[in-house]
Structure 1
Amino acid sequence: MDRTRFFVRVAAVYALIGAFMGSHMAGGGGLELSAIHAHILVVGWLSMFAFAVYYKLFNIPKNSKLSVIHVWSSFIGVFGLTVGMWLYYTRPIEGMQTFNTIFFIVGGTILLIAFVVFAIMAFVHGKFISEE
């Protein structure tokens, strides 16, 4: 898998969703979704794009197990956090509050794991992170 291409494409999708949400909120005058909009742009667009740049700039081994865990936990975590946040705050289906809360918490936890793995990779694969 080309990690850079994957992260750039995912980032592009989140950028479109975030921009659309911002446009919709500006046009409608309501800011009820501003926290969700901000998280989609920060963890969905900016973090995913930053990860793409990381994999492009530094020669992190493609067979790294940490890298595989990082890619998939980032993808699943961002989706889980943002969708879970949307479910939690908008409550589109009545009677699902417990599910919505768990979805939100699990998504956020998986994303936290992704960032922990990223921090570990910065040290484990530190020899590949250089200005040379």
Structure 2
Amino acid sequence: MDRTRFLIKTSAVYAFIGAFIGSHMAGGGGLELSAIHAHILVVGWLSLFAFGIFYKVFPIPKDSKLAIAHVWGSFIGVFGLTVGMWLYYAKPFPGLETFSTVFFIVGGTILLIAFAIFLLIAFKHGKFISED
């Protein structure tokens, strides 16, 4: 799998969704989706894009189990956090409050673990991170 391509394309999807929600809020005058909009743009677009650039710029080994866990954890965590947040705050399906809460928490936890893995990668593969 090309980590950079996967992360950049996924971040583009989140950028579009975040911009669409922002446009919808601006046109409708309501700010009920502002937390969801912000998280989609920050963790969905910005973080995934930055991770994609990180893998392009620095030669982190392609067979690194940490990198594989990081990429998939980031992908699943961003999806779980943002969709869970939408389910939790927008309540589009009445009666799913417990499911929404669990989905939101599990997604956020997976994303937090992915960020911890990124921290480990930065230190474990630090020899590859250089201005040279």
TM surpasses 0.5: yes
Match of residue 117 from structure 2: 117
SS in 2 for 1:66: helix
SS in 2 for 1:120: helix
- Residue identity matched to 1:117: I
**CA distance, structure 2, for counterparts of residue 81 and residue 59 of structure 1:** 29
- Residue identity matched to 1:131: E
**CA distance, structure 2, for counterparts of residue 94 and residue 27 of structure 1:** 26
CA shift, 1:87, in A, is 0.2
**Structure 1 residues 88-127: aligned runs within 5 Å:** 88-127=88-127
CA shift, 1:62, in A, is 0.1
Over the aligned positions, Cα root-mean-square deviation in angstroms equals 0.4
- Residue identity matched to 1:4: T
Match of residue 47 from structure 2: 47
> Is 1:2 matched with 2:2?
yes
**CA distance, structure 2, for counterparts of residue 95 and residue 50 of structure 1:** 37
What is the count of residue pairs matched by the alignment?
A: 132
**Structure 1 residues 18-97: aligned runs within 5 Å:** 18-97=18-97
Unaligned runs of 5+ in 2: none
CA shift, 1:95, in A, is 1.1
Unaligned runs of 5+ in 1: none
Runs (4 or more) in structure 1 with deviation over 6 Å come to none
**CA distance, structure 1, for counterparts of residue 126 and residue 38 of structure 2:** 31
- Residue identity matched to 1:56: K
SS in 1 for 2:49: helix
- Residue identity matched to 1:129: I
**CA distance, structure 2, for counterparts of residue 24 and residue 52 of structure 1:** 28
CA shift, 1:92, in A, is 1.1
Give CA deviations for 1:80-131 in whole Å, capped at 9, x if unaligned: 0000000000111111110000000000000000000000000000011011
**CA distance, structure 2, for counterparts of residue 116 and residue 69 of structure 1:** 11
- Residue identity matched to 2:109: T
CA shift, 1:10, in A, is 0.4
